[in-house]
Amino acid sequence: MSELRALDVQEITARAEDALSKVSAGRVWLDELAILSDDDRRNFITRARAHYADGTTSSVILKSTRSPTYDHTAQNVLQTSGFAKEWVARALLTARAPGRRHGASLLAGDIVGGTMIFEDLGAGHSSLVQPLLNGSTDEAEHALKSYAVALGRLHSDTVGCSDDYHEIFQSIFGAGRPRDQPGRPVEKDVEVISGKIGGTVPIGEMELLSSRLIDPGPWSTLVHGDPCPDNSLLVDGSIRLIDYEFARPSHALLDGAYWRIGFPTCWCAGRIPAEVVARVEALYRAELGRSIPLALDDAAYRVELTYMSAVWLLNCLSLRLEQALTSDEKWGIWSIRGRILCYLDVAIQLTDDADVLPGINKAAQMWLSELHRRWPDAEPLGPYPAFASKSP
């Protein structure tokens, strides 16, 4: 793809060797290179064998950004670069939670060339995709439970990390950079939606949601931002989350709402039966509750979960509605229209159950009715194949 920058493998290798050598006791060199990524991917991924001065070797993964706009000196590099977000997130996790198995360990990096070097978790690992699409009900639930524990551990280990995150960012990319903001105002999303299909949301409710994003209070953690099934590797019986290119400090339940709303950023989308959600969520809350006691309070958790699910509803509608109104494109294993109908269903149910955001509840019901009228043949997002015989 012409918009992706061309990379020189020899240059990447040389820079990676220099980066590893700087953090090792002596010179490191790489060989046995094997390219793992396709030509149209936004990142160039290579497996290599690292040889250390003491005679030991290990397999490593080189991940290089192919973004043509990557500039490590840019003031807004953290806002515009997934490479920068991932490096800072990984460095934070190394500092905050060494040995806690949050993905692959970051070994070194080359900021100028845009390359990170990770430990190699090994070849042939399946992801959460396989049990959800091809596994039994029990296999899928077991994998989801491991996923919930991994996500809860990530959030529990990074509570209140905003200051540390910014300090690490400046230590890597240089001082004087603007601080990353936890979230964008939902008012912009509502404006887009209302312009397409009408409806209004009370100003007070929009301000409430925006304020929860700007200042999540005790719920502030590092969020993965894209904790999809294919970013969740099954390694030695547990889940290891990878690809932190959307990670940032924000509200924990932006991630924690994923299994409730069908994994909104994923090609592999699907719904999970309510009884399975309850068991999965109990494990997530137990992990999160180690650092955020409010996560163990049923009423408080339900309210915050509803707020973040509403944020996802508004964000997804503002991003996807225009395309969906034109045609029913398929994204991954389900249509855009079917996903939107699911988001609306979930938001209506959660706002009813929590008895909050009555204005958003009313607007969502109106939007759902209008879209059903326009899309009489659209199928709402259904359950994953592993749960196809159960009701979501």
DSSP labels for 76-110?
THHHH-HHHHHHHHHHHHHHHSTTS--SSPEEEEE
- Residue 5: pLDDT band with limits 50, 70, 90: confident
Please report the sign of the dihedral spanned by the C-alpha atoms of residue 9, residue 34, residue 81, residue 269: positive
Convert the pLDDT of each residue in 235-253 to its tens digit. 998 999 999 999 999 999 9
| CA 206 – CA 211 distance, rounded (Å) | 9
Distances (CA, A) of 68 to 1, 2, 65, 87: 11, 10, 9, 18
Those residues with Cβ within 8 angstroms of residue 377's Cβ, 6 or more apart along the chain or in another chain: none
Give the per-residue pLDDT at 299.
97
For tokens 């060199």, name the residue. 29
What's the CA gap between 225 and 244, in Å, rounded? 7
Confidence of residue 184 (pLDDT cuts 50, 70, 90): confident
Count of residues in the chain: 392
pLDDT tens readout for residues 288-317: 999 999 999 999 999 999 999 999 999 999
277, 328 contact by CB (below 8 A): no
Are 316 and 343 within 8 A, CB to CB?
yes
Q: Would the pLDDT of 392 be above 70?
A: no
Secondary structure (DSSP) of 301-341: HHHHHHHHHHHHHHHHHHHHHHHHHH---EETTEEHHHHHH
238-241 and 220-223: which strand pairing? unpaired
Residue 390: pLDDT over 70: no
pLDDT at 336: 97
Helix or strand run (H / E) with residue 30: strand 29-35
Is a pLDDT exceeding 60 seen at residue 1? no
Domains of the chain with bracketed CATH: 9-119 (3.30.200.20), 129-387 (3.90.1200.10)
Question: Measuring CA to CA, which residue among 231, 145, 173, 196 is closest to residue 318?
Answer: 196
50/47 Cα distance (integer angstroms): 10
Q: Alpha-carbon distance 63 to 44, whole Å?
A: 6
Distance separating alpha carbons of residues 286 and 227, to the nearest angstrom: 19
CA distances to 66, 240, 334 from 122, rounded to whole Å, are 23, 12, 31
Residue 225 token pair = 């931002």
- The pTM score is 0.94
